[in-house]
Structure 1
Amino acid sequence: MTDSQTDSLPTFKLVVLAGGESAERTISLQSGESVARALTSRGHQVKTIDPSLIDLERYDWTNCDAVFIALHGTYGEDGTIQATLDRLGVPYSGCDASTSKLAFSKSASKERFIQCNVNTPSYVLIHESDNAQRIEQHARTMGYPLVVKPDAQGSSLGVTIVQTPEELPQALTRCFHYDSFGILESAIKGSEWTLSLVNDQVLPLIQIQTAREFFDYEAKYHEDSTEYLFDFDFPTNVIQAITKTGVNACEALGTTGIVRVDMILDRFQQPWVLEINTIPGFTNHSLVPKAAAKAGIDFGELCERALIHCLTKTADKPQN
């Protein structure tokens, strides 16, 4: 059974995991609500569970065919929930535990990108216990402007573009509020892009335009002025290069299911991979649903495609 045959799927008993205790809890609840509504509209029996309120180890999974993970941030995207579901023998959407853990760490994924010749900005891994002078020296060596980011966090939380040495201490404080590890990353000036894949199907590329300094949390979820473009004023070979770079990044990490690659195109028209999101948002502002709609995939079918592998395995099981 292929992705194009989702209309022929029987109905399933599904659980949507949303909420959790990460800094992205609010967005996760919104994603979960949208997903549950969409899957219900496709005829499935859907129950939403918040792992911060219900112990998944004690939950009765006998009446669950598969889980849609709509947990963003820590616990959802870092491989923890995937490892838990693996132990419980419950099929779930998205990448496995090891790939999720790899993608969620910016430093670990960058190392894999470098090994696989995928362009990514240079970086230095830092820790909150590091000597301030050591971090300042790294920043001077890297040069300004630079970007300070938590090593493991999503939705651009704790991210700051630092223009001068005087701005560095505040940026570090903000970064270490979200994670004990962080990275200093070379700031690439250029246009922002995102590429989504659904079970290896490449969705239409999106160029993001925001009036803010970069595509930060506010631009992602609250700014109605943020623009998402599908028609580009760039040569075809440049668009192909951006797409190829995004696909290569996913292959480097071995992702599956629905993923989103965030990139920057510099002034020399060279694409650079910033990160891969293994559980991208499913809100009204989210990028994957926009790209899917452009490709003619409605939201309900998109949600089913996220579960297609475990659903088809269940559908193909012989009935007793």
Structure 2
Amino acid sequence: MSQQYGRVGLLYGGTSSEREVSLMSGQAIHRALLNMGVDVVAIDADDNLLQSLPGHQLDLVFIALHGPGGEDGTLQGALEYLKLPYTGSGVLASALAMDKLRCKQMWQGIGLPTTDFALLEADSDWSAELQRLGGQVMVKPAAEGSSIGMSCAATPEQLQAAWADASQYNTAVIAEPLLPGPEYTVAILDGQVLPSIRIESNAEFYDYQAKYFSDQTQYLCPSELSESREQELQTLCLQAFDSVGCRGWGRVDVMVDHQGQFQLLEVNTVPGMTSHSLVPMAAKAAGLSFDQLVEKILAGAL
């Protein structure tokens, strides 16, 4: 039994719209922790989590909750109050990374490349916003992950419908220009930037189904960028990660615009750890097994 971590609580599942993904991530992490000989208790986080946590007598928490309630700083704040060390980013970084609107505003403010955007509301001028953003846009809830609530729009009517769909998940909805791609993702682990991954999806865009269930989505790792271009991408992603104040581990998503420039999409502070997930894929390319990756993430909490 691995004693250095004490009793570890693995929080997974939860009540967000990403519950299904979190259950898969948690199961994979749980197997790895057992393989390592860690004294782990797997906890499917429900509304009574804060009342039940003290009863488990934990020394450390591994967070495998995706989306609101687990990845947005609220859980991190509660664990700080309980004086329980936990994996991943802290309160502010988690909240900021989850809020795509304010994260993009900050990146614009400090000069990091991210596309223009519109904050959509019920009385938005759909035609004017669509024209300003180039005629084709991606609409997304500002505080969801896993592409939940996202859709494309190319007419004012489609834009209004996309806003109505996205607003079911979050009151803040943003639209961004539809970029041609390709799409890249870069994992960061203890300050080390792992090899980038290029994502090629047959879907209209890299949506929830393509991310977690489709065997048609292709991942190239290494991503076949030139050495200088890979260095440019890795430097940008580390800047983005650090600018939000992230720590431990995470993943930065990027797309290429019509001019061939990298544009930051978002930072994920608790990325997926499923069979289709990207951080384990990047770790493998860097010579780390899944179990070794999990141990590095866990060690970061100490």
TM-score by length of 2: 0.94
Which residue of 274, 279, 286 maps to 2:277? Answer: 286
Does structure 1 residue 69 correspond to structure 2 residue 63?
Answer: yes
Paired residue type of 1:202: V
SS, match of residue 173 in structure 2: strand
The answer for the alignment partner of 2:74 in structure 1 is 80
Stretch deviating more after TM superposition (163-172 or 84-93): 163-172
For 2:191 and 2:71, how far apart are their aligned partners in 1? 19
The answer for the alignment partner of 1:317 in structure 2 is none
For 2:56 and 2:12, how far apart are their aligned partners in 1? 20
Which residue of 190, 194, 206 maps to 2:185? Answer: 194
Stretch deviating more after TM superposition (168-177 or 195-204): 168-177
For 2:135 and 2:273, how far apart are their aligned partners in 1? 35
The answer for the alignment partner of 1:99 in structure 2 is 93
The answer to whether the 8 Å contact 1:11/1:43 transfers is no
Q: CA deviation at 1:164?
A: 2.2
Aligned pairs for 1:296-307 within 5 A:
296-307=287-298
Paired residue type of 2:21: I
For 1:284 and 1:168, how far apart are their aligned partners in 2? 34
Aligned pairs for 1:47-66 within 5 A:
47-52=41-46, 54-60=48-54, 63-66=57-60
SS, match of residue 76 in structure 1: coil
Q: Deviations over 1:54-99 (max 9, x none)?
A: 4323432673121000000110111111011111111100110111
The answer for the alignment partner of 1:38 in structure 2 is 32
Q: CA deviation at 1:181?
A: 0.9
For 2:293 and 2:251, how far apart are their aligned partners in 1? 14
The answer to whether the 8 Å contact 1:61/1:90 transfers is no
Stretch deviating more after TM superposition (140-149 or 218-227): 140-149
Paired residue type of 1:46: V
Aligned pairs for 1:209-248 within 5 A:
209-248=200-239
SS, match of residue 56 in structure 1: helix
Q: CA deviation at 1:303?
A: 1.2
Which residue of 266, 278, 295 maps to 1:275? Answer: 266
Q: Deviations over 1:216-271 (max 9, x none)?
A: 11110111011110244443322222221111111211111110001012343311
For 1:75 and 1:17, how far apart are their aligned partners in 2? 11
Aligned pairs for 1:260-271 within 5 A:
260-271=251-262
For 1:115 and 1:275, how far apart are their aligned partners in 2? 15
Structure 1 portions without partners, runs of 5+: 1-7, 312-320
Does structure 1 residue 174 correspond to structure 2 residue 165?
Answer: yes
The answer to whether the 8 Å contact 1:113/1:119 transfers is yes
Task: Name the CA shift for 1:58/1:171 in 2 (closer, same or farther; >3 Å).
Answer: same
Q: Deviations over 1:130-176 (max 9, x none)?
A: 314x3443233323101111010000011112122231122112111
For 1:234 and 1:292, how far apart are their aligned partners in 2? 18
Does structure 1 residue 154 correspond to structure 2 residue 145?
Answer: yes
For 1:226 and 1:147, how far apart are their aligned partners in 2? 19
Which residue of 82, 89, 92 maps to 2:83? Answer: 89
Paired residue type of 1:33: Q
Identity %: 37
SS, match of residue 255 in structure 2: strand
For 1:80 and 1:300, how far apart are their aligned partners in 2? 28
Task: Name the CA shift for 1:135/1:166 in 2 (closer, same or farther; >3 Å).
Answer: closer
The answer for the alignment partner of 1:3 in structure 2 is none
TM-score by length of 1: 0.89
For 2:185 and 2:126, how far apart are their aligned partners in 1? 30
Stretch deviating more after TM superposition (55-64 or 174-183): 55-64
Does structure 1 residue 116 correspond to structure 2 residue 110?
Answer: yes
The answer to whether the 8 Å contact 2:79/2:86 transfers is yes
SS, match of residue 189 in structure 1: coil
For 1:170 and 1:31, how far apart are their aligned partners in 2? 32
Q: CA deviation at 1:215?
A: 1.1
SS, match of residue 287 in structure 2: coil
For 1:126 and 1:267, how far apart are their aligned partners in 2? 24
SS, match of residue 138 in structure 2: strand
The answer to whether the 8 Å contact 2:120/2:163 transfers is no
For 2:3 and 2:293, how far apart are their aligned partners in 1? 13
SS, match of residue 15 in structure 2: coil
Paired residue type of 2:61: V
The answer to whether the 8 Å contact 2:130/2:155 transfers is no
